[in-house]
Every structure is written in structure tokens, then in C-alpha cells.
């Protein structure tokens, strides 16, 4: 019997129903292969184990036969294949557990395979967004937060801007069609910030009848 760990969500990727007036504009998740390449650096791992294989083969080739040198070096290839398989499994698991949501009011990020958290980032708390676009159309949109908002780099990884640890920037990591998503995000944020919503307080008093969100 299949089981969905997130079947309790009222809306996919969100812990609760959006409030009245909030509209979901886009939802997506990381491309697992792009995540494997860029976040888990699988090409560097492959290169490292190929180097170990070549180094071991060169050392042994002066001491034993060619067949024995290959046999003695092959364990590095086997170990490298196991490590790469684990990296791919990690990337697939992270991608499947992730849902990025862009609405007309905020960016929401449901992230984490083992420890799931949902980040709600209103546009009014985002000072800047940076797009890192790759050749295949995938890319990462990093969000620079205002004020004293602090996030844990380790808790949010790999959904962060790489190596920016002093002030963690959450990121929509390795998403397909990143250029169009970035344009949608920019337009939604600009509209939201330039047109704040005015709401009436529950118990208005003289001189403080309205408040701006």
C-alpha cells in the first residue's frame, strides 16, 4: 500500500490553507540531476575516485603484471560507484520531499527529507533575489532576507546559496525553467511591495484605526 508522508497538507507544499486573497502562482521542486551535479558535486567525486584508480594503477604497474595492477586498482572504482549511487539517492530523496511555492504574497519552501520544515518568506522581508542560471535552463534563485531574520545553513541545506554562511540565503535550488520562474517572482514581489494591503484592526481605537501589512 502506498503512503504519502505529506497527505495531511491541506494544499501541497503548504502547512495550512492560504488566507483569503492569496493565490498560488507557481509550484515546483529541484531537478534531481541538477541537484546532484551542483549541490552534491558528483563530477568532483567521480574525478577524485578516477584519480585514485589511476594513481594506484601507476604504482602497481611497476611491481606486478598489468592484470594484477588493474585488479588491485579496481576497488577504488567500486567504492566510487557506491558513493555516487548514494549521492544520487540523496538528491532524488531531497527533490521528492521538496516543494517550492510562489504566491502573490510570499515564497514558501517545504524542505527536508528527514526533518521537514516549511519556510514562509513574505515579499516584505526579502530585500533582493539573485538568479544563477545554468546552460540547460535550470538555475538557483537565492533570497536575501531583511532585518534580523536568521536561518540555519545546515538545517536549510541544500536549499541555500552555496557557501554564504554568515547570513544564510534560502534558495529555490536547481529548478527547471529558472529564468521564467525568476521573472514571475520579480513581478509578484514588485506588485506586492508597491501595493501594500490595508486592514482594519479588530479593536480599533482613536488614532490607530488602520494598519498596513
Domain-wise residue ranges, the chain? 105-196
pLDDT at 202 over 60: no
In DSSP terms, 171 is beta-bridged to 142
Q: Would the pLDDT of 210 be above 90?
A: no
What is the per-residue pLDDT across 55-110, written as a single tens digit (0 to 9) for each?
999 999 888 888 999 999 999 999 999 999 999 999 999 999 999 999 999 999 99
pLDDT exceeds 60 at position 205: no
Between residues 203 and 55, which one has the greater pLDDT?
A: 55
pTM above 0.75, yes or no: yes
Question: Residue 209 above 80 pLDDT?
Answer: no
Tell me the per-residue pLDDT of 99-151, one tens digit each, with 9 for 90 and over: 999 999 999 999 998 888 999 999 999 999 999 999 889 999 999 998 777 89
DSSP letter string over 62-85? TTS-HHHHHHHHHHHHHHHHHHHH
| Residue 27 pLDDT greater than 50, yes or no | yes
User: What distance in Å separates the CA atoms of residue 22 and residue 20, rounded to the nearest whole number?
Assistant: 6
Amino acid at each position: 500500500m502506498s503512503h504519502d508522508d505529506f497527505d495531511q497538507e491541506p494544499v501541497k507544499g503548504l502547512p495550512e490553507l492560504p488566507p483569503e486573497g492569496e493565490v498560488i502562482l507557481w509550484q515546483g521542486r529541484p531537478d534531481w540531476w541538477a541537484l546532484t551535479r551542483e549541490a552534491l558535486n558528483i563530477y568532483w567525486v567521480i574525478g577524485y575516485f578516477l584519480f585514485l584508480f589511476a594513481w594506484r594503477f601507476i604504482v602497481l604497474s611497476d611491481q606486478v603484471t598489468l592484470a594484477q595492477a588493474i585488479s588491485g586498482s579496481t576497488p577504488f572504482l567500486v567504492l566510487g560507484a557506491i558513493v555516487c549511487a548514494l549521492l544520487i539517492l540523496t538528491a532524488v530523496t531531497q527533490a521528492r520531499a521538496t516543494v517550492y511555492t510562489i504566491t502573490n504574497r510570499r515564497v514558501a519552501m517545504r524542505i527536508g527529507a528527514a526533518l521537514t520544515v516549511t519556510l514562509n518568506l513574505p515579499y516584505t522581508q526579502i530585500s533582493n533575489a539573485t538568479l544563477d542560471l545554468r546552460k540547460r535552463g535550470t538555475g538557483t534563485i537565492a533570497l536575501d532576507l531583511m532585518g534580523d531574520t536568521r536561518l540555519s545553513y545546515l538545517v536549510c541545506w541544500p536549499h541555500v546559496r552555496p557557501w554564504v554562511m554568515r547570513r544564510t540565503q534560502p534558495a529555490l535550488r536547481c529548478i527547471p525553467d529558472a529564468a521564467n520562474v525568476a521573472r514571475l517572482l520579480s513581478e509578484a514581489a514588485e506588485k506586492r511591495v508597491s501595493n501594500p494591503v490595508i486592514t482594519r484592526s479588530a479593536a480599533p481605537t482613536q488614532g490607530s484605526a488602520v494598519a498596513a501589512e
